[in-house]
């Protein structure tokens, strides 16, 4: 997995060396459809590159802007229940 911040985008790349799948493959799952919907909701771009027998690479580029911190505030870790 690779996460890169460049210009005003954050890109996440995940790849494997598994079995891959053909571009016209149909499945009963919602994995790729769910990823596309989430990417669209965040105004992102999703790319899937897969070759039967050659693994898969999924890349999503999401717009990102840095927020300026209010003067005098510092980052404080937030505890989460888990």
Residue 28 counted as domain residue: yes
Give the structural domain span for 7: 2-63
Within-domain flag for 82? no
Distance CA 53, CA 51 (A): 6
pLDDT attached to residue 71: 74
Domain contains 57: yes
Q: How many structural domains is the chain composed of? A: 1
Q: Assign 59 a pLDDT band (cuts: 50, 70, 90).
A: very high
- Which residues touch 63 (CB under 8 Å, ≥6 apart)? 8, 9, 42, 43, 44
Looking at residue 5, what DSSP letter applies? E
Residue 76 in domain: no
Binned at pLDDT 50, 70 and 90, residue 73 comes out as low
Q: Which of 10, 29, 13, 11 is nearest to 21 (CA)?
A: 29
| Whole-angstrom distance, CA of residue 55 vs CA of residue 74 | 43
Question: Per residue in 18-50, pLDDT tens?
Answer: 999 887 778 888 898 999 999 999 999 999 999
């Amino acid at each position: 997995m690779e996460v890169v911040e460049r210009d005003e985008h954050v890109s996440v790349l995940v790849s494997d060396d598994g079995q891959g799948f053909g571009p016209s493959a149909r499945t009963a799952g919602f994995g790729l459809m769910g990823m596309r919907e989430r990417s669209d909701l965040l105004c992102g771009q999703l790319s899937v590159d897969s070759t039967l027998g050659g693994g898969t690479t999924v890349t999503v580029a999401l717009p990102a802007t840095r927020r300026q911190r209010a003067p005098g505030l510092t980052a404080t870790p937030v505890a989460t229940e888990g």
